Amino acid sequence: MSNVNITSKGIQKILKKYNAEQAIAEYIWNGFDAKADTVFVDYTVDALGTLEFLEISDNGYGINFDNLRTKFEPFYESEKAIEISAPVHTSAMHGKNGVGRLTFFTFAFSAQWITTFQTAEGLKSGKIQMNAERLNNYEPVALTVAMSNHSGTTVTFKDVQLSSNQMDEEILPYLMAEFCWFLELNRSKNFRIIINGEVLDYTPNVSSRDELEFYEDKSGTVFRITFVQWKKALHRELSKYYFLNSTDNEVYKDFTTLNKKADDFFHSVYIQSDFFDDFNFKSSESDQQDQLFGKTKSSAEYKFLIKEISKYVLDRRKPYLRTFGERMIERFEEDGILPEYANEWEGKYKRAQLNEALLCLYGIEPKLFTNLNTDQKKTFVRFLDVLLESNEREQLLTIIDGIVDLEPEEREELAKLFSTTRLNRIAGTAKLVAERYRVYHLLKELVTKPRLNAVEVKHLQLAIERHCWILGEQYHLITPADARFEEALRSYTHILTEGDNAPGIDQPDELRDTDVFVSGQRILGNRVENILVEVKHPAINIGKEQYLQVDQYLDIILKQPEFGGDNMYWAFHLIGQQFDDSGFMEQKIAGNQNPADPWLALSLHDGRVKVYVKTWNAIFADFELRHKQISEKLKLERDRLINEWSTMAM
């Protein structure tokens, strides 16, 4: 019996960061570290779904009993837990001083190794046993007869504490992500992990694969590239370049430039070329002799390769990041992180500008948006929104450059974004204003006619339904009410025309038929905002009678179960050519005078129900005032932007 240098509990403490799937992976790595090209994992399950047998075997060079102490007696004297890590610059040896061999305690009570190894006298075999209660003791037995006609090791585990569900749902997926990059690295050598007779298929973890060549003109050097993007993280391996020589052997590996970017862009880049047959990766640029007589990182071919492959990987990453950035913005919207805007053009064009800036920043440095709580995200996003609208927007480059080390191309991309989004917003807003003026002139032409035919009434109806913003910016998101809802509202509209009389019109039905009634709705969380619009026949002047019609209509509506909820808000707009001579409407409006809420004639239930009475002239005057200010602001901003570009061009 031989002893490991530490107590059994001490060993378990050192290896406490290992779990069952990591431990099983270590036994597979032991096989590949022993130069195996195939590792077998075999297990059986009893009627209760528990593993009754688990065995991991390989065709590597075995465990030479002359070196047994270095394999089973790790030199760690400290009980500090071992950090689970991967070799940085080589894949040839993954294990760490044999400690992985002691991790079976995470899933089984005992382990037995039967190994066959080559010696000067030929093949020899030996057996080693350990159990979880005495990890500091191992029992080696040299066998008199070789147990196999080739070298290799078989580890059999007893009293396994795993279920078939754990194997299917946890361990096998873990092994796929753990070994996919390594199996891809050795694909030409047919490296395999065979589990219960089936080759472990890692392609479900492949998001995409590209094969391409880079050709360096001056030397004629060809670099054959295989790029693989993975769906899941590669555990400890991270994203790396793998440099292979003409015999497909790895000579070096190194991190790509896109590690730890918090963007889940997991990838491996395999670079094969005879250029690496006698390449010295350890040489520095100060080693002049190596530079003169050997291939090093200072070689023109290598610099060409790194420049081209870095650009390629960055280009592959951009659409991926845009997709993830768009999902991030969707989550921001769902979580209330994005700002709300006061009117339609702000909501449409400022939001587009903000979204584009967020996407651009996410593409440059996803870490800007990770590890922030909701309040911090709100602060960052709204600060960005304010700066985008200010004359200090260029300061964003300075701020971001202070947080993230921007490449020249990234800095140029941001500068271009901040300029083009301004121009796009100006052009888009100008287009929206022009469309509104078209609707404005159409409405003005219709409502000033002394009489409207049936077609014109329909046009007026549709124009108001689709463009409620004509009544105020607060209505720019209003949409037509649900058909059943509107039908219920319309069933009482006869009240709104009863008693109407106009000079020169003999038939009351004509007044009723040429009135326009529009209903719209906006839902904000639990709050339902309803807008009702009644447009009177041009011959009807609005006075007390029309006002009382609205009052009676609302009284009936609010008594209906489907309309009377506390979360239902109502804004009724009564519109006509002019008020009558009684002065009644002017008095009602003056009695509710509120600069922030003009033309309010009635407010009930703490402002939940409001009635507005307006003339078309007042509506059109308000429209012209609002849009004149917007047009002037657009012109000033456009002129300022042109002036900035002219200055930059000088």
Residue at which a domain ends, from 396, 418, 433: 433
Do 194 and 211 sit in the same domain of this protein? no
Do 32 and 168 sit in the same domain of this protein? yes
Residue 126 domain flag = yes
Per-residue pLDDT at 80: 41
- pLDDT tens for 413-430 read 666 655 555 555 555 566
Residue 442 domain flag = no
**Strand segments (E) across 46-109:** 51-58
Residue 30 domain flag = yes
- pLDDT tens for 597-636 read 888 988 888 888 899 999 888 888 888 887 776 666 666 5
pLDDT at position 255 over 80 = yes
Domain span at residue 111?
2-199
Residue 95 domain flag = yes
Average pLDDT, stretch 238-247?
92
Cα gap 544→546, rounded to integer Å: 6
Do 190 and 226 sit in the same domain of this protein? no
Does residue 162 sit in helix, strand or coil? coil
Residue at which a domain ends, from 183, 199, 215: 199
Do 102 and 183 sit in the same domain of this protein? yes
Residue 476 domain flag = yes
Average pLDDT, the chain: 79
Query: Are the beta carbons of 215 and 305 closer than 8 angstroms?
Result: no
Residue 186 domain flag = yes
Do 19 and 66 sit in the same domain of this protein? yes
Best-predicted range by mean pLDDT (38-47, 235-244, 289-298): 38-47
Residue 624 domain flag = no
Which one-letter amino acid corresponds to residue 647? T
Residue 145 domain flag = yes
Do 111 and 190 sit in the same domain of this protein? yes
Average pLDDT, stretch 321-335?
86
Do 483 and 363 sit in the same domain of this protein? no
pLDDT at position 54 over 50 = yes
Instruction: Tell which wins on pLDDT, 18 or 582.
Output: 582
Specify the pTM: 0.61
Instruction: Tell which wins on pLDDT, 486 or 424.
Output: 486
Do 216 and 146 sit in the same domain of this protein? no
H or E segment and range at residue 173: helix 172-185
Do 222 and 182 sit in the same domain of this protein? no
Residue 177, class by beta-carbon neighbours within 10 Å (0-12 exposed, 13-18 middle, 19+ buried)? buried
Cα gap 537→515, rounded to integer Å: 5
Do 31 and 166 sit in the same domain of this protein? yes
What is the number of structural domains in the chain? 4
Nearest to 617, CA basis, from 538, 545, 529: 538
HSE of 341, CA atoms in CB hemisphere, 13 A: 19
What's 88's domain CATH number?
A: 3.30.565.10
Do 567 and 525 sit in the same domain of this protein? yes
Residue at which a domain ends, from 150, 165, 199: 199
- Identify the band that residue 594 occupies on the pLDDT scale cut at 50, 70 and 90: confident
How many residues in total does the chain contain? 650
- Identify the band that residue 36 occupies on the pLDDT scale cut at 50, 70 and 90: very high
Do 209 and 224 sit in the same domain of this protein? yes
